[in-house]
């Protein structure tokens, strides 16, 4: 997982700007330490004449963390974030942004108050029936604990960055478009031969499995576990009439949306409103119970062991909690629950008997792959004939050699990412040996069809290259002081 995240971190840096803009639902998570020198306490760095505030860093870290966490289905842990160096990625991103903003200041680019007002007016989250709603704007910021001045300052930076990008916008030339179109829509005429294994061609015995397990013990670990003492609080018996719910809805309606972002009507949100209002009213008694539970005056109602792949309990908080720490009341399944982290058990090597099934499977897969590789190499040396499947491109949607469309796409990606005329790919339990019989460099019809997409890609690549070189130059011009210590 960490390797995958390291490979994709550039995508995040390109697509995320100042993260105060992406505030909705971005909870803060642990992010390390910074210099507490009183002259620096409000900042994590100073770049040229611009400072990077602690709040900016926290917000950017939360946005980056949530981005990866969403991509990984909510399974990103704080430990994994530290392993991939997420805090350093965030700091480097903010420093690079500050370098560009210093340059924008130097050449006289400005983000005016009118620019900010225009951006606010055109933000859908702040609109009611397509018109900017000032009360809704302040309500949303308050709900997310964001100061309006801080948010608008973040908007100024985003606007200034957009102006700088526009200033350096390099239109793609016809030759560049043709070059990218050739890369995207190159077509190869392939002859392929699929190699498979007989059912019992590769086998393993007990001795081999045990030897494999001995060599790879570090790959077979138990899951990290947490023993929790839980205090589930009873729900209050409060009943609310429609008038009370309507008043609550008027204040909080921006929080009630469908998955596509469309706001719910009162009737559509009514059931959830009743739950949320009950929880709001029960919060005081939940905090009182928390204090009593922390002092040992109330016993736990349940003890439970959970693992790092749990989907019910708030792992983001549990994973960074200390042993015997009591967490403030949390809402789980529409009910307040207080959690005490009683014990933390780190992963440890599995016994052979426990790991045997997984080790046997992995060894068998490894041996099958090696056997297929050997047979594919032999076939490659004496490839006399294969099934001519005609012309294919990177975006071809067809099944090849009985592979699924997804696996076929993976195979084609391998073919077009390699320059050799002949090759093979071990995939989905078989080896596909191929030979490029003929090649077309430019499909003009496809190029015409996707000219907008191609132009945008050319533009992005040129912009990224320009920014990278510009940042290198600016780093030598503007002094960078980092107060952030990290972990």
- Fold match between 2-170+464-486 and 223-345? no
Identify the helix (H) or strand (E) that includes residue 396.
none
The predicted structure's pLDDT at residue 13: 40
Q: Residues, the chain, total?
A: 487
DSSP letters along 263-302, please? BPPHHHHHHHHHHHHHHHHHHHHHHHHHHHHHTTSS--SE
The predicted structure's pLDDT at residue 319: 87
Number of helices (H), then strands (E), in the chain: 16, 15
Residue 233 C-alpha from the chain's centroid: 34
Contacts of 434 (CB under 8 A, 6+ apart): 190, 191, 192, 193, 386, 415, 422, 423, 424, 425
User: Which among 11, 19, 116 is positioned nearest to 60, based on CA atoms?
Assistant: 19
Q: Which residues of 82-107 are buried (b: 16+ CB within 10 A; e: fewer)?
A: bebbbbebbbebbbbbbbbbbbbeee
The CA distance from 456 to 191, in Å, is 34
The predicted structure's pLDDT at residue 170: 78
Separation of first and last alpha carbons in the chain: 20
The CA distance from 9 to 68, in Å, is 9
Strand partners, 302: 230
Contacts of 369 (CB under 8 A, 6+ apart): 426
Per the rule left: phi > 0, alpha: psi between -120 and 50, beta: everything else, 51 is beta
Per-domain residue ranges for the chain?
Answer: 2-170+464-486, 187-217+351-440, 223-345
Identify the helix (H) or strand (E) that includes residue 350.
none
**Predicted model pTM:** 0.54
The predicted structure's pLDDT at residue 485: 63
Cβ atoms 303, 342 nearer than 8 A? yes
Q: Please give the backbone phi and psi of residue 182, each rounded to the nearest 5 degrees, phi first.
A: -65, -40
The predicted structure's pLDDT at residue 167: 80
Contacts of 211 (CB under 8 A, 6+ apart): none
The CA distance from 105 to 473, in Å, is 16
Q: Which residues of 472-484 are buried (b: 16+ CB within 10 A; e: fewer)?
A: eebeeebeeebbb
DSSP letters along 24-58, please? TT-------EE---TTTTTEEEEETTEEEEHHHHH
The predicted structure's pLDDT at residue 41: 55
The predicted structure's pLDDT at residue 116: 92
CATH of domain 223-345: 3.10.50
Within 10 A of 405 (CB to CB), how many other CB atoms are there?
12
CATH topology of domain 2-170+464-486: Triger factor/SurA peptide-binding fold (1.10.4030)
Using 50 as the pLDDT threshold, list the residues of the chain that sit under it: 1-39
- DSSP 3-state helix, strand, coil percentages of the chain (rounded to 5)? 50, 20, 30
Q: How far is CA 419 from CA 126, 128, 338, 396, 415, in A?
A: 52, 55, 59, 19, 8
SS3 at position 428: coil
The predicted structure's pLDDT at residue 15: 39
CA angle 241, 243, 248 (to 5 degrees): 100
The CA distance from 428 to 475, in Å, is 47
- Name the burial class of residue 351, with classes exposed (0-12), middle (13-18) and buried (19+) by CB atoms within 10 angstroms of its CB: exposed
The CA distance from 28 to 386, in Å, is 57
The predicted structure's pLDDT at residue 258: 85
SS3 at position 13: helix
The predicted structure's pLDDT at residue 27: 37
SS3 at position 403: coil
Longest dimension (CA), the chain: 82
User: Which among 79, 74, 96, 75 is positioned nearest to 30, based on CA atoms?
Assistant: 79
Cβ atoms 230, 298 nearer than 8 A? no
Find tokens 């062991």 and name the residue: 305
DSSP letters along 74-89, please? T---HHHHHHTTHHHH
């Amino acid at each position: 997982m960490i390797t995958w995240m390291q490979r994709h971190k550039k995508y995040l840096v390109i697509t995320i700007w100042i993260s105060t803009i992406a505030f909705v639902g971005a909870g803060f998570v642990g992010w390390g330490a910074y210099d507490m020198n009183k002259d620096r306490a409000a900042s994590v760095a100073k770049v040229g004449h611009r400072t990077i505030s602690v709040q900016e860093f926290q917000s950017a870290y939360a946005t980056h963390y949530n981005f990866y966490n969403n991509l990984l289905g909510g399974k990103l842990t704080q430990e994994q974030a530290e392993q991939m160096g997420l805090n350093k990625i965030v700091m480097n991103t903010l420093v690079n942004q500050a370098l560009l903003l210093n340059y924008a200041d130097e050449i006289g680019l400005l983000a005016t108050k009118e620019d900010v007002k225009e951006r606010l007016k055109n933000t859908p989250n702040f609109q009611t029936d397509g018109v900017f709603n000032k009360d809704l704007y302040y309500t949303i910021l308050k709900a997310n604990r964001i100061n309006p001045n801080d948010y608008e300052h973040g908007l100024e930076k985003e606007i200034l960055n957009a102006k700088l990008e526009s200033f350096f916008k390099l239109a793609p030339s016809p030759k560049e478009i043709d070059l990218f179109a050739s890369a995207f829509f190159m077509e190869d005429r392939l002859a392929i031969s699929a190699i498979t294994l007989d059912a019992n061609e590769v086998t393993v015995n007990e001795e081999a499995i045990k030897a494999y397990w001995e060599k790879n013990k570090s790959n077979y670990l138990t899951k990290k576990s947490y023993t929790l003492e839980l205090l589930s609080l009873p729900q209050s018996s409060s009943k609310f009439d429609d008038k009370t719910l309507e008043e609550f809805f008027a204040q909080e309606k921006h929080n009630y949306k469908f998955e596509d972002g469309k706001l719910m009507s009162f009737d559509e949100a009514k059931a959830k409103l009743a739950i949320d209002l009950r929880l709001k009213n029960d919060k005081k008694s939940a905090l009182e119970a928390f204090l009593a539970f922390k002092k040992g005056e109330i016993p736990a109602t349940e003890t439970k062991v959970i693992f790092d792949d749990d989907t019910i309990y708030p792992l983001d908080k549990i994973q960074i909690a200390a042993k015997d720490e009591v967490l403030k009341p949390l809402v789980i399944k529409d009910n307040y629950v207080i959690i005490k982290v009683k014990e933390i058990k780190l992963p440890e090597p599995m016994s052979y008997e426990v790991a045997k099934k997984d080790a046997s499977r992995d060894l068998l897969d490894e041996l099958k792959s090696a056997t297929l590789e050997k047979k594919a190499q032999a076939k490659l040396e004496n490839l006399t004939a294969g099934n001519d499947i005609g012309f294919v491109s990177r975006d071809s949607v067809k099944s090849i050699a009985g592979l699924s469309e997804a696996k076929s796409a993976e195979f084609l990606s391998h073919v077009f990412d390699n320059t050799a005329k002949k090759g093979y790919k071990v995939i989905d339990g078989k080896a596909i040996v191929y030979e490029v019989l003929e090649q077309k460099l430019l499909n003009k019809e496809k190029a015409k069809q996707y000219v907008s997409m191609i132009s945008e890609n050319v533009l992005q690549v040129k912009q990224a290259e320009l920014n990278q070189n510009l940042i290198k130059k600016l780093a030598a011009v503007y002094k960078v002081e980092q107060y952030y210590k990290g972990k």
